[in-house]
Amino acid sequence: MAKMEVHPRGRRFLAWRAYLLSKPGASERHPFDPALPVYFVKGKLFAIYGVDGAVETMNLKCVPDWSLDLRRSHAEIIPGYHMNKKHWNTVTLTGALPRSLIKTLVDCSYDLVSGRAKLLARPEAKAIKARGR
């Protein structure tokens, strides 16, 4: 049996890193700090993976109205740390949020930044339009 790669940040980081880099054209760079991986597509950032002690977070771009709903519904989702609070969320990776929701948030961020969002009819976009926003 092959041994899993050992990384100082652990398996959770490796799993999310693999998911972020699985996006077409995605790349990892460290423009701010060698310990702060930033994920880009088309030269624009779509995710930042942060670690502060034992707390792991991801900053992800989001549809503004959906961001507000998410923040009201989940204590683990707050306005983006060091980011435009209207368009970015910080998601704390405690294990409390469903992995499927975090994947949807990553996908949404990637789509918004890469320009794919205009081509996709996401359920959350339909819900926002249905509310008249």
Alpha helices for 3-98 (secondary structure H): 11-21, 64-73
Taking only the tens place, the pLDDT of each residue in 30-87 is: 999 888 999 999 999 999 999 887 889 999 999 888 899 999 999 999 998 888 888 9
Confidence at residue 11, expressed as pLDDT on a 0 to 100 scale: 82
Q: Indicate the burial class of 82 (C-beta count within 10 angstroms; 0-12, 13-18, 19 or more).
A: exposed
CA distances to 16, 29, 86, 115, 116 from 55, in Å: 14, 21, 23, 31, 31
Cα pseudo-dihedral 24, 32, 57, 98, rounded to 10 = -10
Q: Is the dihedral of CA 85, 86, 87, 92 positive or negative?
A: positive
CA distance 46 to 100: 18
Mapped onto helix, strand or coil, the DSSP state of residue 62 is coil
CA distance 102 to 79: 15
In percent, the amount of the chain with pLDDT more than 90 equals 56
Closest CA to 55 of 20, 12, 17: 12
In the chain, the domains with their CATH numbers are 11-130 (3.90.1150.30)
**pTM of the shown model:** 0.81
Residue 133 has pLDDT above 50, yes or no: no
